[in-house]
Structure 1
Amino acid sequence: MAKLKLNPAPTFTAQVKIPVPGGESDPVTFTFKHRKRTDTIDWLKTTSTKEDYVIVQDMAAGWDLDDEFTPDNIATLCDNYPGAGGAILDAYLAELRGARAKN
């Protein structure tokens, strides 16, 4: 049986359902950066003035798409799929809280 570690891994993966206009949501697995609760609260205070792609860069370290995880490609994702930024942020915060969605 695995034991809880007081210092978690610096990254974790989670699946995010990216809303596709006119279609079903497409799942994308992201590698997210772990943050402590206090760091998350401070970081969230800075997000209201940032573009979605910058917020995604702040919280993610990679994805399982064929396209490379670069600032330009993150911006393209957020531009082509307007709901992506919010969906990614929601999934990130849910994972940090340990609240997994039921299937």
Structure 2
Amino acid sequence: MAKIKISQNPTFKAKVAIPRVGADPVSVEFEFKYMDRLALAAHFDKWNAARDEHAKKVQEDGLSWQEATGAEIALQVGQLKDIVASWAFDEKLSDESLTALVTTCIGAPQAVLEAYQSAYQPARLGN
């Protein structure tokens, strides 16, 4: 009988369809950091608190569109840094390249987060 370990691998890979303006999405392989359920819940709490704080700041401080967008980009870069271990882009994964991705590809953060979250969905049984 094959031996199967309970513990998960520290990383896993998934393809992400990165949206491109005026073109079809490009499929890029990402390597994600695995988190157990408690760690994942803690990250969701952190992300939700940061998003709430961002929304409050925008409303109370009357930020310009550019200031609000800059703050949202920083928030999304932080989210991706939390989960991405590596990627198959030509550019090496770094704070600068993550910022470039989030700044130039509006739908990229959502696509990456959705691919990450979908990996945690229970596998569908049957056809």
Superposition TM-score, scaled by structure 2 size = 0.72
Task: Please tell me whether Structure 1 or Structure 2 has the larger radius of gyration of its CA atoms.
Answer: 2
**Cα distance in 1 for residues equivalent to 2:10 and 2:122:** 15
Q: Which amino acid aligns with 1:21?
A: V
Q: Which residue of 1 aligns with 2:57?
A: none
Q: Which residue of 2 aligns with 1:45?
A: 45
Identity of aligned residues (%): 30
Q: Which string of whole-angstrom CA distances, capped at 9 and with x for unpartnered residues, describes residues 35-86 of structure 1?
A: 1112111111111326111111100111011100001100100100011001
Is the CA contact 1:16–1:88 (under 8 Å) kept in the aligned structure 2? yes
Q: 1:78 aligned to 2:102?
A: yes
Q: Which has the higher helix share?
A: 2
| Equivalent residue number for residue 34 of structure 1 | 34
CA distance in 1, matches of 2:40, 2:102: 22
Q: How much does 1:5 deviate?
A: 2.3
Give runs of aligned pairs for residues 1-103 of structure 1, distance below 5 A.
Answer: 4-48=4-48, 49=50, 51-99=75-123
Moved more, 77-86 or 91-100: 91-100
Gaps of 5+ in 2: 52-74
More displaced stretch, 25-34 vs 47-56 = 47-56
Alpha-carbon distance in 2 for matches of 1:21, 1:2: 47
Gaps of 5+ in 1: none
Displacement, 1:99?
A: 5.0
Q: Distance in 2 between the 1:98 and 1:65 partners?
A: 28
CA contact (8 A) 1:19 1:81 kept: yes
> How far off is 1:23 after superposition?
1.6
How many positions carry a matched residue from both structures? Answer: 100
**What is the root-mean-square deviation of aligned Cα atoms in Å?**
1.9
Per the alignment, do residues 2 and 27 of structure 1 end up closer, same or farther by CA in structure 2, a change over 3 Å counting? farther
| Offset at residue 97 of structure 1 (A) | 2.2
